[in-house]
Amino acid sequence: MKKYSALTLIMTLGFSVSQFVQAQGSKDAKEAAKFSREGFEATQNKDWDKAVDAFRKAAQLDRKQAPNLGSALQHRGMEYTTQQQFPEAISDFTEALKLTPNDANIYERRAYVEMKTNDYDKALADYTEAIKLKPNEVRYYLYRSYIYETKGDVKSSMADTDKALKLDPNNQEAKSRKARLEARQAANAPLPPPPPKTSPAAARTP
């Protein structure tokens, strides 16, 4: 009888805990939905600080809200970029990438800001990641080619330019860069050795 009572008590407690977890989950979901609505309203008003704050609270309660937070961070990052608040923009894009690491557009946006601050090595790395995610995006090769050219890496710049032309043979930007790079390569080519003053035939003794 005691064993039966103990078993009944354990089952009752287990059921109570389950109900509590479900109730807590339901409460969190309702709170997350509330913050999400606030976030969408703020988005419509382009109040990105409020949107990010609301979606952050929603995501803490429900991970399904993470993409909304990532989107709000991107929008705020773009607004920071417009205002030339570059460190803040990079911070938002970096946080957005943690939430959606397979979004090539975020890498491109962060790379654009890094180029604005002359941090070409980081911009190069971000365009490389973007190319891994979207290998047929001509724009990414053009920008990476520009960075390589700026850094004086003519060979890598030419490789990316050729890739862009392979994807888009009529791309005028790529054509112009290729002509410019070929001119640089020709200018840096080693000079041929001077011809000998005496021909081999004249040097032979009869």
pLDDT digits (tens, 9 = 90+) for 10-33: 444 444 433 333 444 467 777 777
pLDDT digits (tens, 9 = 90+) for 88-129: 999 999 999 999 999 999 999 999 999 999 999 999 999 999
The two structure tokens encoding residue 22: 């479900």
The two structure tokens encoding residue 39: 């976030």
* Domain 29-101 falls under CATH 1.10.260: no
DSSP string, 109-171: HHHHHHHHTT-HHHHHHHHHHHHHH-TT-HHHHHHHHHHHHHTT-HHHHHHHHHHHHHH-TT-
- The amino acid present at 112, given as its one-letter code, is Y
The pLDDT score that the predictor gives to residue 66 is 77
The pLDDT score that the predictor gives to residue 148 is 94
Alpha-helix residue ranges (DSSP H) falling in 45-83: 48-61, 66-82
Q: Give the fold, CATH level 3, of 116-185.
A: 1.25.40
29-101 and 116-185: identical CATH topology = yes
pLDDT digits (tens, 9 = 90+) for 123-177: 999 999 999 999 999 999 999 999 999 998 999 999 999 999 999 999 999 999 9
pTM recorded for the entire structure:
0.72
The answer on pLDDT for 35 being more than 70 is no
Q: What is the Cβ-side half-sphere exposure of residue 35, based on CA atoms within 13 angstroms?
A: 23
The pLDDT score that the predictor gives to residue 113 is 96
If you average pLDDT over residues 42-48, what whole number do you get? 75
- The amino acid present at 115, given as its one-letter code, is M
Domain locations in the chain as residue ranges: 29-101, 116-185
3-state DSSP assignment of residue 6: helix
**Residue with structure tokens 């805990």?**
17
